[in-house]
Amino acid sequence: MIKVGVIGCGMFSNLFKYMGRKVENLKIVAATDVDLKKAKSIGGKSHAYTDIDQMYNKEEIDTVYIATPHHLHMPQIKQAFKAEKHILCEKPVACSVEDARIINKLDKKYRNLKLGFNYNYRYDPVCHELASAVQNGHLGKIYYTNCNIFFSRDEAYFKQGMWRTKWDTSGGGTLLIHGSHIIDIMIWALGEPISIMGKIDTLKFPDLIEVEDVGFGIVEFENKVHAQINCASLITPPISVLQDKVELKIFGEKGHCFYNGPWPSSLKWKGVENYSLEMDPQKKELPHLVNSIKAFTEWILHDKPYLNTIEESSKVLRLIKALYKSSETEKKESIEKL
């Protein structure tokens, strides 16, 4: 049984608690939050804390699940490693490429501990099929990709979590918070991105938020494939959180495919036969968050590779940070290495 301590008890931790019930060999045994009431709602009255070290000292924990504001990821990952805990952290990796490099060094130092990031679209069977098909030449040579992210966020969303409004605490706006899941899938399918031209702006709440609510990018990959990113969190009329829309269209010499998601997700093929992977039928029935949590537990228990390592999950952070820099310089920018 993997005993989990939760750090940060907001919406995502409640979702983690609900989805985690569907995963064998995993049990939440304690929780920490600056708000003790929230910690009790996840960990229970006798196993709730406002201090992380106190939780480590009093509880038998194998693994921590980190779902805190982005600027806390790096120091809390460092703290967890020192306490000899496995770590599953919510996306993004961190606020900055510099913090991602620190995390990468820590990951190499504590080789006996597992560190993963919850980019759970990789555990959506539909996304897995898309990436596998492109990687294996099902569409032939890839010419062009279009990635669209359509979200709606109101004032209450930001006022309930003011850390989301500032560069120092969030690291970015709609691209990093909302777009990074599907951008991660695009990178997974197409390979290493090398440069980007980008533009961001803050149009809907310029007096409330520093970060962007619209962002655009043109990405060049090592294999000369080009991709266009179109991301916004100001769609009107409003879209509910459960109806947020993302699209990924990939055009190749033999045909193209169209992913539509995230809940429910679908994948259509044009010009080529449908592509499917052999996999456990249960994975196709379960939500991809459950599949991601289950895969992380299998990594710990059986050393079965997990898809969302620091090396993989930092790629989307590095791409988006280069896009932000390009918006400032008004020039094409190279994407930094980890």
Q: Which residue has the higher pLDDT, 54 or 279?
A: 54
- Residue 56 in any domain: the answer is yes
Question: Does 284 have pLDDT greater than 80?
Answer: no
- Per-residue pLDDT band at 278 (split at 50, 70, 90): confident
User: What pLDDT does 277 receive?
Assistant: 87
Q: Which residue has the higher pLDDT, 299 or 277?
A: 299
206 plus 157 within the same structural domain: yes
- Per-residue pLDDT band at 86 (split at 50, 70, 90): very high
Domain boundary among 104, 120, 136: 120
Question: Does 250 have pLDDT greater than 80?
Answer: yes
- Per-residue pLDDT band at 280 (split at 50, 70, 90): confident
Domain boundary among 120, 155, 174: 120
148 plus 33 within the same structural domain: no
- Residue 295 in any domain: the answer is no
Question: Does 287 have pLDDT greater than 80?
Answer: yes
Question: Does 282 have pLDDT greater than 80?
Answer: no
User: What pLDDT does 244 receive?
Assistant: 85
CATH at residue 129: 3.30.360.10
Summary mean pLDDT of the chain: 96
Calpha distance 91→68 (Å, rounded): 10
278 plus 138 within the same structural domain: yes
| pLDDT tens-digit map of 125-159 | 999 999 999 999 999 999 999 999 999 999 999 99
Domain that holds residue 18: 2-120
90 plus 194 within the same structural domain: no
178 plus 273 within the same structural domain: yes
Helix (H) or strand (E) holding 294: helix 288-302
Residue 221's alpha-carbon distances to 28, 146, 218, 226, in angstroms, are 41, 13, 10, 6
Q: Mean per-residue pLDDT for 232-241?
A: 87
User: What pLDDT does 241 receive?
Assistant: 75
- Residue 300 in any domain: the answer is no
DSSP 242-277: GG-EEEEEEEESS-EEEEEESSS-EEEEESS-----
62 plus 166 within the same structural domain: no
| pLDDT tens-digit map of 165-175 | 999 999 999 99
Question: Does 279 have pLDDT greater than 90?
Answer: no
| pLDDT tens-digit map of 2-16 | 999 999 999 999 999
Q: Mean per-residue pLDDT for 46-74?
A: 98
248 plus 313 within the same structural domain: yes
- Per-residue pLDDT band at 99 (split at 50, 70, 90): very high
247 plus 100 within the same structural domain: no
Which single residue is written with the structure tokens 């120091």? Answer: 75
Calpha distance 36→21 (Å, rounded): 23
16 plus 75 within the same structural domain: yes
User: What pLDDT does 263 receive?
Assistant: 85
Domain boundary among 100, 120, 140: 120
84 plus 137 within the same structural domain: no
Instruction: At 142, list the tokens.
Output: 């890839």
CATH at residue 55: 3.40.50.720
Range of weakest confidence among 49-53, 99-103, 203-207, 238-242: 238-242
User: What pLDDT does 292 receive?
Assistant: 96
83 plus 182 within the same structural domain: no
- Residue 162 in any domain: the answer is yes
- Residue 296 in any domain: the answer is no
Total domain count, the chain:
2
Question: Does 281 have pLDDT greater than 80?
Answer: no
| pLDDT tens-digit map of 214-231 | 999 999 999 899 999 999
Q: Mean per-residue pLDDT for 194-208?
A: 97
- Residue 299 in any domain: the answer is no
Helix (H) or strand (E) holding 75: helix 73-82
6 plus 114 within the same structural domain: yes
Find, among 81, 240, 99, the residue nearest to 170 by Cα.
Answer: 99
User: What pLDDT does 237 receive?
Assistant: 87
- Residue 267 in any domain: the answer is yes
- Residue 329 in any domain: the answer is yes
